[in-house]
Amino acid sequence: MKERFEREVSAADTDLVVLPEMWTTAYTLPDLHRHAEEMESKTVELLQQLAVKNNVHIVGGSIAVLEEEKVYNRAIVIDRSGKLVYHYDKLHLVPMLNEPYYLAPGREKVKVFELDGVKMGLIICYDLRFPEIIRQLALEGAQALFIPAEWPDARAGHWEILQQARAIENQMYVISSNRIGSYDGVDFAGRSMITDPWGNILAKGSPDQEEFLHTSLDLENVKDVRRRVPIFDSRVPEFY
């Protein structure tokens, strides 16, 4: 990861870097108790150092964290000063990949966090299928949603369509980082994406190549779309 930052981040005018889900261990679920880290870990320390050195914010994907003999799939956010701004434990565990047998679900609701005064949200992979938690982030003012993932290739079509749907229905940017390759008989989809509030795909990764995607977000676009199609003013939640 240090080498990749030196190659890709230092040479670019970068404000924020997004990493994939479980990037330190991959899906070694039966062995996660041996590989999981405590929150005060070398991985978090490394990301803090990289944030400061490169003057970037980092949505540090997620890592396996061991607490009270339970393993949590934890996403972390570190600002450019090296401060741990936010962390989130994956709420929805994937039954198709047997995650509930090896991981403990999160115990807290998703929350909005801020970087450079911009409100943002964060979910992990399978959470994408649950629009309720994403709508809550939008109602709290989130303008961008980050999704670290290890989404399987068997459901790659869902992966792309759901990101566009969440961007359109919440009028926010959706930025995902998904792994490639195979592990234990599961092929992963890649296709990391950056989708704008109108549902346009601004950048899309390949299904099988390790790469960095680069693009710029115009946050005024969020305000413009929400003004043109004022869905939040039109809501009548008392009837839902």
Q: Which residues form the catalytic set?
A: 21, 90, 125
DSSP 23-89: TTT-S-GGGHHHH-B-SS-HHHHHHHHHHHHHT-EEEEEEEEEEETTEEEEEEEEE-TTS-EEEEEE
Pairwise CA distance, residues 142 & 22, whole Å: 24
Residues 46 and 90: their CA atoms lie apart, in Å, by 22
- CA–CA distances in Å: residue 72 to residues 48, 99, 106, 201, 228: 20, 10, 7, 31, 40
Cβ 170 vs Cβ 135: under 8 Å? yes
HSE-up (13 A, CA, CB side) for residue 110:
28
In angstroms, rounded to a whole number, what is the distance separating the alpha carbons of residues 207 and 192? 8
Crossing angle of helices 156-170 and 131-139, in 10° steps, is 30
Residues contacting residue 40 through CB under 8 Å, at least 6 positions apart: none
Look at residues 19, 118, 35 and name the one whose alpha carbon lies nearest to residue 77: 19
**Residue 97 in 3-state DSSP?**
helix
